[in-house]
Structure 1
Amino acid sequence: MTTTAENIRGYIAAGLECSRLEVEGDGQHFRAVIVSPAFAGKRSVQRHQIVYAVLGDRMREEIHALSMQTLTPEEDQANG
């Protein structure tokens, strides 16, 4: 089974409250913009760890590469 951007979007949405979630990719490499209040007060590495925890074993088994931009709603709003 080929993992799609929509699959990944669903996995993240099921485990993390997101005010904005965009995922795109080609089946091997994916890019995501994830905006969540759960990221408040967290450094970039901690934010990525939250997403990795949500994805669990899928990061090893299904998803070969995932580039993430992780923002709080306030940061997203400030970026326009």
Structure 2
Amino acid sequence: MSTTPELIHSYIENGLQCTHLTVEGDGRHFSALIVSPAFAGKRPIQRHQLVYAALGDRMREEIHALSMKTLTPEEYGG
């Protein structure tokens, strides 16, 4: 079974509280806009680590390329 944007969306949503989440991709390369209050006070690498934790082993096994834009609700809203 190939990975879809919808699957990645559900993986992130189940593992990380998000106020906004979009995932796009072609089955191999994906991009995500992730807005979460959990990102407050965290550096970009720490934000990405939270997303990787939500994805777990899927990041190595199913998802080959994922570019992320990680924002707090305040950063997203403006």
TM-score with structure 2 setting the length: 0.99
> C-alpha distance in 1, partners of 2:25/2:15?
20
Task: Report the Cα distance in structure 1 between the residues aligned to 2:58 and 2:73, rounded to whole angstroms.
Answer: 26
1:3: how far off?
0.2
The corresponding residue for 1:61 is 61
Structure 2: give runs of 5+ residues left out of the alignment.
none
CA displacement 1:17-76 (0-9 Å, x = unmatched): 100000000000000000000000000000000000110100010000000000000000
What secondary structure does 1:7 align onto? Answer: helix
Structure 1 residue 11: Cα displacement: 0.3
Runs of 4+ in 1 over 2 A off after TM superposition: none
RMSD: 0.3
Amino acid at match of 2:55: L
Amino acid at match of 1:17: Q
Task: Tell me which residue corresponds to 1:32.
Answer: 32
Unaligned stretches of 5+ residues in structure 1 = none
Counterpart code for 1:33: L
Q: Which residue of 2 aligns with 1:51?
A: 51
Q: Identity over aligned residues, as a percent?
A: 72
